[in-house]
A and B are shown apart, each in its own frame.
Chain A
């Protein structure tokens, strides 16, 4: 049973394909295959899933933007509403300490250099665009 049975799940095509392919390999660790087997997995509810790549606007105030590195298809969500701006960083930014020390990655970042670049871009966008995170 999905966590939210009536919700539409908008998610990264890149990430879905990456984890789905990994789950088929015999030597894949359990934690690596979990994203494709958990109840809200789009594979189990294809009519409720929408896969996106690149920038994707939705609801008139949200923009999904690629922030790869932690995972190949990691995305951040930029909010623009009534003159207020914010970024939901997701796994591109795990801990407040990664703001001053933006080169620090989590143990589970898949591509270390790409994760750093995405984090720097996200934080620079916060500065330049006056966004909260």
Chain B
């Protein structure tokens, strides 16, 4: 997403029925 709207931390995405959900992984448990 454009930098002026983007949060400072990229996120993984999880499937949630017919939607999606952000998985922020703030502690970087899944690695940078």
A residues sitting closer than 8 Å to B (CB atoms) are: 84, 86, 89-91, 93-96, 99-102, 123-124, 126-127, 130-133
Bound form: Cα–Cα A100–B15 in Å: 9
- Chain B residues contacting A132 (CB-CB under 8 Å) are 10-13
- Chain A residues contacting B11 (CB-CB under 8 Å) are 96, 132-133
With beta carbons under 8 angstroms apart, the residue of B19, B20, B21, B32 that contacts A84 is: B32
Bound form: Cα–Cα A93–B11 in Å: 13
B residues 1-32 near A (Cβ < 8 Å) are: 1-2, 5, 7, 10-16, 19-22, 31-32
With beta carbons under 8 angstroms apart, the residue of B2, B7, B10, B22 that contacts A91 is: B2
